[in-house]
Amino acid sequence: MIHKSKENISVTFFDAGHILGSASILIQYGEKKIFYTGDIDLSNQTIMIRADISKIKNIDTLILETTYGAFDSQMIGS
């Protein structure tokens, strides 16, 4: 991919807490913030620490793909 804009692009990876190596991505382009994540886990597991999304604030676009959607997922807004 070639970046031709004069505005800076920042890409930050966050541990998604889902499986080893899973990541969520925050893309900042000018004043815009895009947060992308596949499966994300907000609770601790046996070998994985939960995802910490507390630093993700004021995003413009959320792209979320997942195969899980249980009631305990409501804690995201807590």
For the chain, what are the domain ranges? 9-77
Residue predicted with more confidence, 1 or 10: 10
- For 6-25, the pLDDT digits (tens) are 888 899 999 888 888 888 99
Secondary structure (DSSP) of the chain:
-----SS-EEEEEEE-SSSTT-EEEEEEETTEEEEEESS---S--SS-PPP--TT--S-SEEEE--S---GGGGGGG-
Please give the pLDDT value at position 70: 62
Instruction: Please write the tens of the pLDDT for every residue from 43-62.
Output: 888 888 888 888 889 999 99
- Give 41's pLDDT tier (boundaries 50, 70, 90): confident
